[in-house]
């Protein structure tokens, strides 16, 4: 299994991977695949941080980190993360997260924020964001809004996250 940067040739396959991954997901609005398409066209997109998992030439997973802000500071938002149902439970999600963190570290980002299962993301170093002064722009149990510290940072970071406009939240 290979984790690599997504290319334009992968877009259709990624669309269907995201759609199928979220079809039976606990939390889904059914539009995650369209969100990925919209994010790619926006200012928050970071090509190096849209990654695919490839197995025997087939795209089986995808992860995207986009730029968000807390006050004026840039942070990453991890969303969405998708693995084809028949490829789940094999560590592909974990590999996508870890590779994403590695690249993000090289690029100098300091924080990755995620909204998701505390059971899943805590295994990958995510901690409640409120402990780091970062608030969600919507009501959410504090354990589900999490941050991973990618690089040490000097500046204080306090405030409510502003997601890319494509998320339709702000």
Binding mask 22-41 for ligand COA (x = CB under 6 A): x--xx---------------
Count the site residues for ligand COA by CB under 6 A: 19
Question: Which residues have a Cβ under 8 Å from the Cβ of 73 and sit 6 or more positions away?
Answer: 155, 157
Distance of CA 69 to the CA centre of its chain: 14
Name residues contacting ligand COA, limited to 120-139 (CB under 6 A): 120
Report in angstroms how near the CB of residue 102 gets to ligand COA at its nearest.
16
Burial class (CB within 10 angstroms; exposed 0-12, middle 13-18, buried 19+) of 18: buried
Q: How far apart are CA 73 and CA 25, in angstroms?
A: 32
Binding mask 68-107 for ligand COA (x = CB under 6 A): ------------xxxx----xxxxxxx-------------
Indicate whether 55 belongs to the interface with ligand COA (CB under 6 A): no
Q: What is the contact surface with ligand COA in residues (CB under 6 A)?
A: 21-22, 25-26, 80-83, 88-94, 116-117, 119-120
């Amino acid at each position: 299994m290979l984790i690599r940067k997504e290319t334009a040739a992968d877009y259709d396959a990624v669309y269907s991977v995201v759609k199928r991954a979220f079809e039976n997901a606990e939390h889904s609005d059914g539009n995650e695949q369209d969100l990925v398409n919209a994010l790619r066209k926006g200012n928050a997109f970071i090509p190096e941080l849209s990654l695919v998992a490839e197995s025997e030439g087939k795209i089986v997973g995808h992860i995207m980190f986009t730029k968000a802000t807390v006050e004026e500071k840039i942070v990453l938002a991890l969303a969405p993360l998708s693995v084809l149902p028949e490829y789940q439970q094999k560590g592909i999600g974990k590999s996508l997260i870890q590779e994403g963190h590695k690249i993000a570290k090289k690029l100098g980002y300091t924080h990755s924020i995620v909204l998701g299962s505390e059971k899943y993301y805590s295994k990958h170093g995510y901690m409640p964001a409120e402990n780091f002064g970062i608030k969600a722009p919507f009501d959410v149990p504090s354990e589900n809004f999490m941050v991973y510290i990618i690089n040490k940072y000097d500046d204080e970071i306090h405030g409510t996250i502003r997601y890319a406009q494509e998320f339709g939240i702000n």
